[in-house]
Structure 1
Amino acid sequence: MPHPLLPAVTEAGVIATLRAPDADSASFAVETLVDAGVTAVEITYTTPGAGVVITEVARRFGDAVLVGAGTVTRADQVHEAAEAGARFLVSPGLDEAVLAAMRQTAALTMVGGFTPTEVQRLAALEVDVVKLFPGSLGGPGVLRALRGPFPDLVYVPTGGVSVDNVAAWFAAGAAAVGAASELAPAAAIRDRDAQTLRANAAAFLTAVAQARTGRSAA
C-alpha cells in the first residue's frame, strides 16, 4: 500500500533540500522558506546539528510542515532523525542496512537511484519514493525513459532542478521535485539572505503551480 505521507509529498510540490554550515543558519533558512510558502523541507546530514534542526522544525511547525532528513547514509542517523521527528528519510543511494533501519520507523522512505538496474532494485525492495539522483546528468528525459518500464513508481528528481525546467520534470512524470542550491543557495543560507530565499521560493512555487496546471490541461 502507498505510504500515507505520499499525498503530502505530492501536494508540497517542491521539497527544499537544505545544506547549511551550521544549525542556526539551517533554522533561519527553514523559517524563511516556510514563511514564503514552502511546506516540505529536507535537512541534510551534511549540516552540523541536523538532528537538532529537525527537532526544532517538528516542534515549531507540527503537521503544517513536512520535515525530513536527507543524505542519510548510516543507521544511527536514521534512528536520530526519526526520534527528532523526521517524517521522511532520504538516502542518496541504496544501502540495504540503512533501508532496513528506515523501515523500523514510520517515516516515508526515499532512496536514490538513476540507472534502470538501480531503479529495478528499488522497485523490488518496495521503497516508497525513488529519488532520481543526480537529475542533472540526464534531465527530464531520463525520468520519461525510466517510466516506460517502471510506470508505477513514485519519482522525485533531485539535482539540477531549476525554475526553468520544473515544468519539464512534471511533464515527464515527477510527483514532486527536490530543489537544493537553485532554491536555497549556500551563500544565501550562510549570509542569511532572506530576500533571495523568499524570491526563489516564490519563483519555484509559481513554476510548480503552472506546471501542474499545464499537465492537467494536457
Structure 2
Amino acid sequence: MEKLLEKHKIVAVLRSGSVEEAKEKAQAVFKGGVCLIEITFTVPNAETVIREISFLKEKGAIIGAGTVTNVEQCKKAIESGAEYIISPHLDEEISQYCKERGVFYMPGVMTPTEIVKAMKLGHTILKLFPGELLGPKFVKLMKGPFPNVKFVPTGGVNLNNVCEWFEAGVLAVGVGSALVKGTTDEVTKKAQAFVKKIKECTE
C-alpha cells in the first residue's frame, strides 16, 4: 500500500448523501485520473457503494473505506471488498482486526503521543487529521523525532496548498470537498487539476 500511495499521491475522500451520488462521484474522480478512492462510512450504506463500484478495480482503481470508527464498520467494509481501512482516530481493535485479515489500516493521529502509540501497533503510515488545523509545518516538525513515519494529511487540502504539503514531506494527501463537490463533470476536471498540480510539485 505504501508503494501505491507513493505512486498515486492522492486519495479521493468521498462523502455524499446517497449511494447513487457516491457511485457517480467515484466514477468521476477515477475518470479524472485519481485511482485511490475512499468511501467514507458517513455515506448511507457505504458498504453497498464499495460493492457496487468494485468494477472500477478491473480498470485500476484501489477502493477502500474511510471514517471507520468501529470493528463492525470495518467488518462490513472488508466483506464488501474494501482493500484498505482508514479511520480518523487510532483504534487498537480495528488495527488488530485488519492485521488478522491482512488488510492495510491507516489510523488517524494528531499528536506525538498518538504517533508513538500507532508505531507501537506497527503502523508507520498515518493519516494526519485534521490537516487544516495542524498544517504542513507540523509535518516538518514531526519528521525530526519520527523520521520513519509517513504522513497522509486529510482535511483542508486544496489546489492552493497541496504543494506546501508535499514540500513538507508527506507521502500522499487525502482530498475531500475540494475535489468531490460539484457536478460529475466538475469533479472530473478537479481530479485532473489535482493530478496535474501534484505531478508538477513532486517531479
TM-score relative to the length of structure 2: 0.96
1:132 aligns with 2:128: yes
Mapped to 2, the partners of 1:63 and 1:78 lie a distance apart of: 25
Mapped to 2, the partners of 1:63 and 1:174 lie a distance apart of: 27
Aligned residue identity for 2:13: T
Cα RMSD of the aligned pairs, angstroms, is 1.2
Instruction: Write out aligned runs for 1:1-218 (5 A).
Output: 5-62=1-58, 64-185=60-181, 188=182, 193-213=183-203
The Cα of 1:195 is off from its aligned counterpart by 2.4
Cα deviations by residue, 1:144-175 (Å, 9 ceiling, x for unpaired):
11111001012111111111111111111111
Q: Which runs of 5+ in 2 are unaligned?
A: none
| 8 A Cα contact 2:29 2:187, kept in partner | yes
| 8 A Cα contact 2:92 2:121, kept in partner | no
| 8 A Cα contact 1:108 1:128, kept in partner | no
Mapped to 1, the partners of 2:46 and 2:147 lie a distance apart of: 34
| 8 A Cα contact 1:43 1:69, kept in partner | yes
Mapped to 1, the partners of 2:90 and 2:40 lie a distance apart of: 16
The Cα of 1:8 is off from its aligned counterpart by 1.0
Q: Which runs of 5+ in 1 are unaligned?
A: 214-218
Cα deviations by residue, 1:72-127 (Å, 9 ceiling, x for unpaired):
01111111111111111001001211221122222211000011111111111112
| 8 A Cα contact 2:57 2:63, kept in partner | no
SS at match of 1:85: coil
Cα deviations by residue, 1:166-186 (Å, 9 ceiling, x for unpaired):
11111111111000011112x
SS at match of 2:77: helix
Mapped to 1, the partners of 2:170 and 2:43 lie a distance apart of: 27
| 8 A Cα contact 1:109 1:128, kept in partner | no
SS at match of 1:8: helix
| 8 A Cα contact 2:124 2:148, kept in partner | no
Q: What is the percentage of aligned positions where both structures have the same residue?
A: 34
The residue aligned with 1:216 is: none
Q: Tell me the number of residue pairs that the alignment of Structure 1 and Structure 2 aligns.
A: 203
Aligned residue identity for 1:16: A
SS at match of 2:187: helix
